[in-house]
Amino acid sequence: MKKLLTIFSLLLLPLVTPVQAAGGYGIELKPAENNLRDQDSLQRGAILFSNYCMACHSVKYMRYNRIARDLGWTDEEVVAKMTYNQNRVVDNVMTRMLDGVAMDVMGVEPPDLSLMSRLKGTDYIYTFLTEYYQDEKGNWNNHALKGTSMPNVLEGIQRHASPEDYAQAARDISNFLEYAGEPAKLERLDLGWKVIAFLLVLLLLTYLLKKEYWRDIKH
Ligand code: HEC
């Protein structure tokens, strides 16, 4: 019985761990409330990402032509909007920063953001982007990542746009990064329903077949 209980509690462990992990940031994460089906938001997020993040960060597993296809742009539009025609449509989405510069300037290499949404979640990215504050000495710090070497890159929007527009910008960027983390996510979710519907129909058919086979047999 004891053994059974141990096994049972071990099975429950994966359900408990993410909750504990979420508490590990030392701050309550704010919900990003982003929506992968909102293509306008994804388009805005991609452009904001290009303007505010690509100076330091890559999303090296994405190519511009894939982004164009998924976000409803033509090949010409994507390179115009995201690279000011500086890249080819088959290029990967690489930072504009030259090798080694980040190390010299910030003492740390900005991480590639392809899988950041999978690693830390969109709520974390949204919270991180919107939790910059200035301490008494006027130095910028961040509640989600204390002492971070990333500057408050959205400061311009934070100062000059309304709080709603500022939150929306962070939401759009988080949305784009969730998309980049798994570009086929919507296809996967939509296909999932079709597969389950197919299996249900199959279940009905096999049940009817079984009844047919056993019809004349007494049991
Ligand atoms: C001036 C360069 C620079 C720009 C521009 C920049 N970042 Fe960063 N970013 C960094 C550096 C450096 C780090 C590593 C921070 C650290 O470890 O303290 C980082 C880390 C991150 C992280 C990981 C945080 C963590 O918990 O490890 C995320 C997410 C991120 N950046 C998102 C963004 C987004 C989104 C933008 C655009 C809105 C952006 N960054 C723009 C330099 C930059």
Answer whether 110 contacts ligand 1 (Cβ < 6 A): yes
CA of 54 to the centre of ligand 1 (A): 10
CB proximity list for 18: less than 8 A, separation 6 or greater: none
CA angle centred on 30, ends 120 and 36, rounded to 5°: 65
CA of 110 to the centre of ligand 1 (A): 6
What's the rounded mean pLDDT across residues 24-48?
A: 94
What pLDDT is attached to residue 217?
87
What pLDDT is attached to residue 20?
44
Residue predicted with more confidence, 99 or 191:
191
What pLDDT is attached to residue 105?
84
Mutate to test the pocket of ligand 1, among 52, 56, 123, 129 (most ligand atoms within 8 A of CB): 56
pLDDT band per the 50, 70, 90 thresholds, residue 26: confident
CA of 53 to the centre of ligand 1 (A): 8
pLDDT band per the 50, 70, 90 thresholds, residue 136: very high
Residue 18 in this model has a pLDDT that exceeds 60 = no
Answer whether 173 contacts ligand 1 (Cβ < 6 A): yes
Report percent pLDDT > 90 for the chain. 81
Q: From residue 101, give the alpha-carbon distance in Å to each of 108, 110, 150.
A: 10, 11, 14
Residue indicated by tokens 């049940």: 207
Sign, Cα dihedral of 133, 136, 139, 145: negative
